[in-house]
A and B are shown apart, each in its own frame.
Chain A
């Protein structure tokens, strides 16, 4: 292998690794705060990418129907409770956010052909359609089970994943899609072409990670999320409701997923079920970080990206096998070096 190929593969690996790192961070966050192993993380990637692709072909993405259905369900669930407890003042915002805004979005999509919009505006619309699904899914599927065991939450997580895959097939069809790149710029680095899109992915991921760091370190809501992850009872005594923390971190997870989807949509062809494998690679990174350490998870995910890229060159047929086999020595090492902590029961 000469230097040129080495660089090309490295570039590929870092691009994918950056995406896996984002997903790994989302997985660690969701697990730390809610103890949910968030299998459907990858579906947000696919939904983000395919929603953008639908918008570009001038179609109304099926995502809007899911948004309307989930929003109405949340409105019914929470509305019923508010009515019973006679807290009428909270009804209007509930209805506006969960039913009003999705209806408005649907009306907007039907009124104006979305393929007329510039690319960045389409990306924003796609994000806005996908992100609210995060907190809505939390409200419908996970919030009623907040005190269930990790295993029960995992089973629900798988159910959500399967449902989203099925709906993805219904909404976007079995055909894969690829969106036009955000930039056509290309540089040359030691004889190997360096795509502008690659730089964009790495820079955007880095910026998002820095943004997340500031959110967790500098804002009171970020601190509240960390507090909930560290000590649930302590957080509740401060008036931080677990449901608020859950919704907030599912919103972040959905945002990270959709953003990743939009970033990689021009690089690889995304199918309705592509998200699972992408999410799983982020998961390997998260596992390397013990589902607890953000920096180790991000580095682990980068490693996964590089490993995948080089193994696709040397042993293309075994590329997934090699990546997922990585988890075995990591798990062995972790179980030998770390003390086993019993799951905390509340």
Chain B
């Protein structure tokens, strides 16, 4: 969450070219290109089954992929597994949240800083205070078990836990999934706030309206391919996007 003044403002954090992912013989992503710069929110919208979650799983190293992934200026080695990528500053908040249900909110957060602890950092309490500033609700629930939290609080905990790793690239998979409209608004407000800290955000969403509102750039992913891409205001004004994802006659 800290600033990186030594980095150029427009620095490309992640550059993906021709990414292909196959489950056995079935190819789920047929060559996806995607680019994220520092301090940008980039959103990937698209229907269910378009390959959005697959894309994130491949980027974080949970699924084998082919194609070029250039992260922070270095081509990623295909042998790199999740743990190595976490150490390089990538984090994923998965669709299923994947919390440690029988542990307290505080322990979940502490484990978010596990790799930093392992590499000698001892600032997790300070980082946790920063996370509590973003999510005051988590501080109220700090000794409660993660499994007893409401849906919105779980999403907050999943995001807070990811931020404990002080990521350079934060990937969010459907943060609005299954949440009430008021909570969704709150979550998106926080995502927009996070942008100010300089972290690059890759936001995968079905809620196209909300995602395009806070994003700088957007991609539409359909059946494993990018069908449209552009600055999010242009996308939001595109008749094809309006018809397919924003609904007719509704203002955005």
Contact = CB atoms under 8 A, between A and B. Distances in A.
B93 to A, nearest CB: 8
A234 B102 CA distance: 13
Interface of B: 60, 62, 77, 79, 81-83, 86-87, 91-92, 94, 98-103, 107, 110-112, 114-115, 117-118, 161-162, 165
Q: From DSSP, what is the main secondary structure of chain A's interface residues?
A: helix
Interface string A194-237: 00000000000000000000000000100110110011011111
Interface stretch (A131-139, A238-246, A254-262, A302-310): A238-246
Interface of A: 85, 220, 223-224, 226-227, 230-231, 233-241
Given A85-B79, A233-B62, A239 B114 contact: yes
Contacts of A236: 62, 82-83
Contact of A237 (B79, B92, B118): B92
A235 B165 CA distance: 13
B99 A239 contact: no
B118 to A, nearest CB: 7
Nearest to B116: A239
Contacts of A241: 81, 83
Given A227-B111, A238-B86, A241-B83, A233 B94 contact: yes
Q: Which of A226, A239, A241 has the most CB of B within 10 A?
A: A239
B118 A234 contact: no
Nearest to A220: B117
B103 A237 contact: no
Contacts of A231: 98-101
Contacts of B165: 238-239
30 contacts: A220-B110, A220-B111, A220-B114, A224-B111, A226-B100, A227-B103, A230-B101, A230-B103, A231-B100, A231-B101, A233-B62, A233-B94, A233-B98, A234-B94, A234-B98, A234-B99, A235-B100, A236-B83, A237-B82, A237-B94, A238-B86, A238-B111, A238-B112, A238-B161, A238-B165, A239-B83, A239-B86, A239-B87, A239-B118, A240-B111
Contacts of B98: 231, 233-234, 237
Contacts of A223: 103, 107, 110-111
B46 to A, nearest CB: 23
Nearest to B96: A233
A223 B86 CA distance: 18
Nearest to B79: A85
Contacts of A239: 82-83, 86-87, 114-115, 118, 165
Which 3 A-B pairs give the minimum distances between C-beta atoms?
A239-B115, A234-B98, A239-B86
Given A226-B100, A231-B101, A237 B114 contact: no
Contacts of A235: 100, 111
A227 B87 CA distance: 18
A230 B115 contact: no
A284 B107 CA distance: 32
Q: Which of A85, A231, A234, A237 has the most CB of B within 10 A?
A: A237
A39 B139 CA distance: 44
A246 to B, nearest CB: 13
Q: Which of B81, B91, B114 has the most CB of A within 10 A?
A: B114
A178 B117 CA distance: 44
A88 B70 CA distance: 23
Nearest to B82: A236
Contact of B114 (A230, A233, A240): A240
A237 B59 CA distance: 12
A237 B100 contact: no
A86 to B, nearest CB: 10
Contacts of B91: 237
A341 B108 CA distance: 25
